[in-house]
Structure 1
């Protein structure tokens, strides 16, 4: 900035130095207000600081006239003639900041001083911390969502197995219809046989009394068998009805578990995208 103005800091007289400092005092506060971050400025010749403008919070308390430290970025810029940048941790001055020191050359190309800007990294640290927390949280949610998706998938498989089992029970119950039909036929035939035996016993009069008792018991047994078969049929019909209801419920559970699995997969994908975004935020934070 000074070299561009054609000034030779080695040959500046006291009046010119005063004019230079007055110009800095006017221009740098305006430049400072244009920065979205907290910044400070310093100007040094080969030996000492000749101007310092602290930031709003960023202030390393440099006094004008203070000697340039024998080591560090400013001294390196003076010695190498190259711009030197470094991130200064919070532990040194109480505030984290990025320091960039640009050598200033006179009209002969000789390094005559250095202009330094310090940019606060407090926002960067906050952003970086938030990005790390976001990445960790999204990773945990992604992991949990993955477990939920696996559980939902297992539940869907279990529900499907239960549905198949219910269908097998219905098939087995249908086979009992044949058994009930056989029992009904035996009951009907036994009842008819008992009726015929009772008629024959009546014809035999006194000699058929014992045979009549047997015929009577056979008819009772047939009636009881028919009644039992009817009761069993009613029970089996109720079981079939309950199984049908269970099948409908299982189908609903299966649909819900499939929707849950799909939803958790979408959540997992979103969390992975969020984690990628957090990584980009972290990358941007390091670029500030």
Structure 2
């Protein structure tokens, strides 16, 4: 800023009183302004919410950026936490020199950091949330993969059961043949017993029992065949259901992988938002 004398300081004050309210309206962020000479504040324009209640004519504090700018003759910036004045803001104080190079005062601007703080908190919350979702998605993906493996194992088990049932068909066929042969044998024995008349009565009873056993065996084999056929049908339905579960688990695993990738991108975006927040 140009060097000023006392008269120019007064002119500067009057100019700032006219221009700063207009400048303040153009700022997209809440700002406040202050002008001080070497001892006291001579002008203060609070922001909409950012107001540290400086009284014109009040002495400059012995500590702080304004005093440092006066003493060192250098621009001083600092971030003021909300615990001090209720709102966080960035303070920048620039010394004003007179024509002889001596410090005549300090011009200070305070820029609200409320938006930055809100954005930073949102970015942190977003990063934490996306990390949690990513972790959960990875767990779901792992579970889906395990489920797919289990379903595949069940499918293979079902196929082995079907193979075993096919072997029982051969056993049942053998039983049916034995039953048929036993029935024929019993019938022949009954005929021979009839020919033997009284001497073949005991043999006829045995032949009758053999025929009953053969009929019972044939009936049981038929019942077993029906049950096994029903088991085959149920296994076929189970196989179809398992195939559908396998397809769904694979789609679930793929979907959770996409979610995990999206969450990673979201976490990266949160980092970028945090960087932008620091620039505001």
Give unmatched runs, 5+ long, in structure 1.
none
**How far is 1:104 from its partner?**
2.3
Change (3 A) 1:101 1:95: same
Equivalent residues of 2:116, 2:277 under 8 A apart: yes
**How far is 1:108 from its partner?**
4.4
TM (norm. structure 2) is: 0.94
Match of 1:230 among 222, 234, 255: 222
Matched, 1:253 2:249: no
Equivalent residues of 2:175, 2:217 under 8 A apart: yes
Matched, 1:56 2:52: no
Match of 1:70 among 62, 74, 78: 62
Equivalent residues of 2:4, 2:96 under 8 A apart: no
C-alpha RMSD over aligned residues: 1.6
**Greater CA drift, 69-78 or 53-62:** 69-78
Match of 2:256 among 264, 280, 283: 264
Q: Distance in 1 between matches of 2:102 and 2:202?
A: 143
Matched, 1:205 2:201: no
Cα deviation code 1:145-179 (max 9, x no counterpart): 22222221221111111111111111111111111
Match of 1:190 in 2: 182
Q: Distance in 1 between matches of 2:128 and 2:27?
A: 32
Match of 1:180 in 2: 172
Matched, 1:166 2:158: yes
Q: Distance in 1 between matches of 2:190 and 2:53?
A: 127
Q: Distance in 2 between matches of 1:8 and 1:87?
A: 29
Q: Distance in 2 between matches of 1:112 and 1:232?
A: 111
Matched, 1:141 2:133: yes
Give unmatched runs, 5+ long, in structure 2.
none
**How far is 1:105 from its partner?**
2.8
Match of 2:31 in 1: 39
Match of 1:94 among 86, 94, 101: 86
**Count of residue pairs brought into register by the alignment:** 280
SS of equivalent to 1:115: strand
Match of 2:147 among 128, 148, 155: 155
**Greater CA drift, 37-46 or 108-117:** 108-117
